[in-house]
Each structure stands twice: as structure tokens, then as C-alpha cells.
Amino acid sequence: MTTFHKLDIVVLAGGISHERDVSLRSGRRVAEALKAAGHTVTLRDPDASLLTALTDNAPDVVWPALHGASGEDGALQALLRARGIRYVGSHPEAAGLAWSKPTAKVLVSRAGIATPEWLTLPNGTFRELGANGVLAEVLHGIGAAAVVKPAQGGSAQGVTIVTDAADLPRAMVDAYTYSDVALIEKKIEGTELAITVMDSGHGPVALPAVEIEPLSGIYSFEARYNAGETTFFAPARVSEEVAERAAAVAVQVHELLGLRHISRIDVIVDAEGVVWFLEANMLPGLTETSLVPQAIEAAGLTLASAYSALAVAAAAE
């Protein structure tokens, strides 16, 4: 039997990224669950006094729920580690690998895991070589059926599914709104799954996959965070064999990137049953419509017990 340890926990939420509102919702949900588990929880929006306050007040553990660059690129984690502050989530090096979608795809591909064919285009290259010529090469290499997204970022902001070559220019503009580098992937048709990987000190374990079926056909920002825009199936409506293979890929990616405590690995399974890696999220959304809470509940766990286990593990490291 695990002995309960009541902790003093600071949950960070808000920040200044494009995903501030999502972060606030995630932070509130995490704080509520940790309080339900019996911990003392302070919900705080980061500001210039944050590091000094954390050093002076010395909480047992910090839970960053900061989506976007302010929480996911590894900078915050590096500062917390430098101050000797324990925190839930991945170390800065691993955070940086997952934050850069092209980097994660390179590492995953080298490990023999399938990932859609892709290319990256910095905004400067797009301007310098001329939009028409560059787009022609994109169509030649990737095809008209593509997914265009910022090379860094989350919550599907700036992501466009392109099915017609005429829509590609606008998709590039949308991606560049959120990042100076665009990632263009070949579109894979299949069943989209999100797999939560959790490790509370006993090794990473994949929770039941959540199947995503957006009503619009596109899992956009609106489809993610507006109730009723997407139908979710937890566990996913796939065979046991496919579910096991997808879970194995998720755990392999989690370990390959060096992620810690919790991650969400997004994949798509094609008609032949091939599991294609899409991206890794080292600080996944934890809102009322997010995928991780659904996976936790599908595993027969409560948010309070799952989040508490992660916080206890982080405090003990």
C-alpha cells in the first residue's frame, strides 16, 4: 500500500502565449483534482516575481500547466531545475525535443517508427525563393493532400488540412502566424488516436487510447475546446492488436524523447494497421474537454489519484 504524502503544490497557469486561456482551464482542473486528493494547492499566474516567490516559499513541487512556448519549450523547466525546485513534467532537454515537431519526427524516424513524409520551410526561405516556386516543389514532394502546421506550438493553432493545391498558400500564412517555421506533412488517412503515457515512478505505462472524431473532419482548436464539436471514444474503437501496437509506439516515443511523468503521443492508424507518429506533447491539455483526463478515466482511475501520484513522484525525485 502506498503511503499518502500531503504536499504543498504550486500550479502554474496562464502565461503570455497564444494558449493562455487553455492553460488557465488546465490549471484550474489540475488544482481542483490535487485539492480533492488532500494536497495544499496554490494556483498562480507566472510573473516577474515567480522564481523569487518559489525560492522563498519553497513548495514541495510545482506543476506547470503552461501551454505554448512559455511552458513547453524547456526554458521554464531549466530555470526551475537551476533553482532546485522539483516539478511535474519533462526535463528541459526532452521538452525542447518534443516542442520542435521536426526534431521529434527525425528522432522517431531514425528509430524505425513510421511518421508521415514531411518537409520544413522557414518563413525566410519562403520569401527569398518566391512563394510560387516553393509551393510547386511542396506539391511535387508531398502532394496536394497535406497537413500544414507550425513547427512549434500546440492546441492545433495554425494547423490546416489541405486537400486542394489552391488552399496551400493560405495554409502557409496561417502556420507562419504562430511560428517562423512551417511543417508540411503528407496527409495519412485513418483513425486518429491520442495515447497518454504516465510514469509515477514505476516506469511509463500507456493508458487506453482515445479516438478522435471531429464533426467537421478537422481536429481544430475549436474542435478541441468547444464541447460538442468532437466525438471521443475512450477506449478507442480499434482491435486489441492495434491498440497494443499503438500503445507500444507511444511508450517507445516517450522513452526515446526522454519525457517524464506524463505525455500525450498523437498517432494515426491507417487502413493497413500501420501506426504513424504525428507529434509528442510533453505538457498536454488537461481541460474539461482534453484527451488526457478521458484516458485516465477510461483506465479506471480518478483525476485526483492520477495527478496526486505524479506530484508525489516529482516531489520524491
Catalytic residue positions, numbered? 19, 155, 290
Q: How far is CA 300 from the centre of its chain?
A: 22
CB 282 within 8 A of CB 98: yes
Residue 72 marked in a binding site: no
Q: Are strands 146-150 and 160-162 parallel, antiparallel or unpaired?
A: antiparallel
- The grid coordinates of residue 28 equal 484550474
* Residues 267, 275: Cα–Cα separation, whole Å: 6
Q: Which residue has the cell 497518454?
A: 196
Residue 281 marked in a binding site: yes
Q: How far is CA 45 from the centre of its chain?
A: 20
Q: What is the DSSP string of 110-168?
A: HTT-----EEEEEHHHHHHS-HHHHHHHHHHHT-SSEEEEESS--TTTT-EEE-SGGGH
Please state the φ and ψ torsions of residue 250, each to the nearest 5 degrees: -60, -45
Q: How far is CA 18 from the centre of its chain?
A: 15
Residue 226 marked in a binding site: no
The CB density around residue 238, as the number of other CB atoms within 10 Å, is 19
Binding site, residues?
266, 279, 281
Binding site for Mg(2+), residues?
266, 279, 281
